[in-house]
Amino acid sequence: MLRALSQLGVQRAALEDPGYGDLAVSDSARAARAVGIDVVPVPVDEFGLNVTALEASGVRAVVVTPAHQSPTGVVLAAKRRHALLEWAARNDGFVIEDDYDSEFRYDREPVGVLQGLAPDRVFTIGTVSKSLAPAVRLGWVLVPPALADAVAAEKRVSDRGSSGLDQLAVAALLESGRYDRHLRRMRAVYARRRGVLIDSLARHAPGVRLTGLAAGFHAVAHLPESADERAVVAAARQRSVGLYGMGPERSTTVAAPPQLVLGFGNVGERAVESGIAAVADLLR
Ligand SMILES: Cc1ncc(COP(=O)(O)O)c(C=O)c1O
């Protein structure tokens, strides 16, 4: 997609900050730079991407996670969704919508994709990395019709095509109804893990606020101002508790509050409970 955009003359793209990794090293940033597109960070707050800052950055493309921002866990507010599409229309801009986990919303239906509102300006990417396994390496992309051939050609040049056998296996899973059944079952499993995370934190560390939609596989814990995020992560590791700080997901770290991105995707309920008890003990 970035290569096709680069051929259209797009020279700079924005990525969310915090986002899916620090721009200095993230895969998305490196993919952009590899095709000659410069990347700039645009801040995210509790309403999602700051579209005013996007406008000011002067880019013509942006990669966003509107349904469930990665990693802050917020949803892009309705006003911002509209502002983002207006930005694209005004600036001959393009939105790459990374719809990476909307199969997993636990309290209601996920918000609809932006692509439906502006199909000629939005690319939407989905994946089975969360629903089946990252190792399957299959996903899909809805491409603005005018760019579909260009994107298909670029994909062919970049990888000579994805495995046909694997695609047929996933198609069979979809057509049989078993994929939907699997999603329903796993939604209940992950929702329970998230519930245990919330309860454990309330019990062991009642002062620590947790934010993020009831969705996906992570939530954000806001540590006391005085806490040293990196020290907490390192000390937890000493106790065999694997934690992620928000720091590595930030491109701008000035005055960043200490936060943890708590993952519950591949951790059982008991491990969530004992892990949170250990973190609470550390914070004390
Ligand atoms: C924000 C975000 N985008 C995309 C992906 C999926 O990437 P892929 O489909 O290449 O495994 C992930 C998976 O970890 C993610 O967290």
Q: Is the CB of 131 under 6 A from ligand 1?
A: no
pLDDT at 253: 80
C-alpha angle 153/156/161, rounded to 5°?
A: 140
Please tell me the residue having the least CA distance from ligand 1 atom 5.
Answer: 100
Domain 2-174: assigned CATH number: 3.40.640.10
Give the distance (Å) from ligand 1 centre to CA of residue 253: 23
Q: Is the CB of 104 under 6 A from ligand 1?
A: no
User: How far apart are the C-alpha atoms of 107 and 164, rounded to whole Å?
Assistant: 36
Cβ–Cβ < 8 Å for 17, 64? no
Give the distance (Å) from ligand 1 centre to CA of residue 71: 11
Cβ–Cβ < 8 Å for 131, 103? yes
Give the distance (Å) from ligand 1 centre to CA of residue 162: 17
The encoded tokens of residue 261 equal 């991105």
pTM: 0.96
The radius of gyration of the chain's CA atoms, rounded to the nearest angstrom, is 20
| Strands of the 122-127 sheet, one edge to the other | 48-49, 38-45, 12-17, 61-64, 94-98, 122-127, 139-142
Domain 180-283: assigned CATH number: 3.90.1150.10
Q: Is the CB of 72 under 6 A from ligand 1?
A: no
Nearest to 96 by CA among 156, 215, 15: 15
Burial of 262 per CB tally in 10 Å (0-12, 13-18, 19+)? buried
Q: Is the CB of 65 under 6 A from ligand 1?
A: yes
pLDDT at 254: 85
Tens-of-pLDDT digits for all 284 residues of the chain? Answer: 999 999 999 999 999 999 999 999 999 999 999 999 999 999 999 999 999 999 999 999 999 999 999 999 999 999 999 999 999 999 999 999 999 999 999 999 989 999 999 999 999 999 999 999 999 999 999 999 999 999 999 999 999 999 999 999 999 999 999 999 999 999 999 999 999 999 999 999 999 999 999 999 999 999 999 999 999 999 999 999 999 999 999 999 888 999 999 999 999 999 999 999 999 999 99
Q: Is the CB of 139 under 6 A from ligand 1?
A: yes
Q: Is the CB of 99 under 6 A from ligand 1?
A: no
User: How far apart are the C-alpha atoms of 28 and 121, rounded to whole Å?
Assistant: 19
Please tell me the residue having the least CA distance from ligand 1 atom 12.
Answer: 100
Cβ–Cβ < 8 Å for 246, 229? yes
User: How far apart are the C-alpha atoms of 264 and 257, rounded to whole Å?
Assistant: 22
Give me the residue spans of the domains in the chain.
2-174, 180-283
Best residue for ligand 1 mutational test, from 30, 98, 100, 159 (most atoms within 8 Å of Cβ)? 100
HEC-encoded secondary structure of the chain: CHHHHHHCCCCEEEEEECCCCCCCCCHHHHHHHHCCCEEEEEEEECCEECHHHHHHHCCCEEEECCCCCCCCCCCCCHHHHHHHHHHHHHHCCEEEEECCCCCCECCCCCCCCHHHCCCCCEEEEEECCCCCCHHHCCEEEECCHHHHHHHHHHHHHHHCCCCHHHHHHHHHHHHHCHHHHHHHHHHHHHHHHHHHHHHHHHHHCCCCEEECCCECCEEEEECCCCCCHHHHHHHHHHCCCCCEECHHHCCCCCCCCCEEEEECCCCCHHHHHHHHHHHHHHHC
User: How far apart are the C-alpha atoms of 208 and 211, rounded to whole Å?
Assistant: 10
